[in-house]
Amino acid sequence: MEENSHTTGKILMAALSKLTQQQISTFTITISSLFHLHRHRLSTLLSSNTVFSISLHHLHTLSLHQKSLLIARHMLSILSHLSHFLDPKTTQMPPYATTVLNDRDLDSVLLLLLLCELHQHNPVTLKSLSPSNWQKSLSNYVSTTMLTLSGIGFSNSEILRKYIELVARCKKFVDVMGCGDGKGGKDVAASVAAVIALPSVEVIQGGKECAICKEEMRLGRDVCELPCEHHFHWMCMLPWVIKRNTCPCCRYRLPTDDVYGEIARQWELVVRIGGSYF
């Protein structure tokens, strides 16, 4: 469901309020380091003609869908830091390739977000200049507005505010492109890494049936256990997770390698823990 930036911010604030003081402290340190990296990349981007030209050229070669995917991957990489604390059941899951951005993609998405920011504040600026002059204009904009992605010199509350603004900005872009609902509500496969990490447990109580095949799970038999603690025959569960990442009983979502599907999964978690504002 699409939300405006204000509602997105309220949901994020509510979810953050559920963290313990120690979790908030650790989360803030992590985000501060992340923003420091972003600031360093952005500083290099705006000070180097070569890096700026390469990043701008790369953006020009991307379709609108590819730009949306780039921002979606960036959103997922920063949203994952919060969901890591909110859902301890998936804390031990290995990192996913969908959350990793190489330097070229990171430079490109930072430049894209900065261009969108400048366009939002002053639509005439970019239109009145040739792309060759955008670098200077963007540098001046960052300097005069003190837009920085660094947490250095800011209080914890300021770092959290900047985090909320960044997630909300990315989510708004993804929602506008119509990709924020997990492939339009279509099923997506569970991540292979998530499936491999599922435990096998022994059936110790009779009379329970597998919700997929409707047959009883025999005592002493090893079955698959999902993080929601529902059990299924392995031979039933494996074909299921190849096509969809939801529990057949409660619709609990397993991690997925599909970027938009994973955003939908993690955002659903944030809404559930933070409380719905719809």
- Helix, coil or strand: residue 216: strand
- Distance from C-alpha of 151 to C-alpha of 148, rounded to nearest angstrom: 8
Return the CATH architecture of domain 192-243. 2-Layer Sandwich (3.30)
- Who contacts 134 (Cβ-Cβ below 8 Å, separation ≥6)? 56, 115, 126
Domain locations along the chain: 5-183+258-274, 192-243
User: For position 127, what pLDDT does the model report?
Assistant: 78
User: For position 1, what pLDDT does the model report?
Assistant: 45
Residues lower than pLDDT 70 in the chain: 1-3, 88-99, 145-154, 177-185, 276-278
User: For position 163, what pLDDT does the model report?
Assistant: 94
pLDDT digits (tens, 9 = 90+) for 74-84: 999 899 889 88
Largest CA distance in the chain: 74
- Encoding tokens for residue 97? 């390739």
User: For position 182, what pLDDT does the model report?
Assistant: 44
Q: Are 198 and 278 in contact (CB under 8 A)?
A: no
- Distance from C-alpha of 32 to C-alpha of 52, rounded to nearest angstrom: 24
- Who contacts 198 (Cβ-Cβ below 8 Å, separation ≥6)? 224, 225, 226, 237
pLDDT digits (tens, 9 = 90+) for 1-47: 456 778 899 999 999 999 999 999 999 999 999 988 998 899 999 99
User: For position 149, what pLDDT does the model report?
Assistant: 42
137-143: list long-range contacts, CB under 8 Å, 24+ apart: 138/46, 138/111, 138/114, 139/46, 139/47, 141/114, 141/117, 142/42, 142/46, 142/114
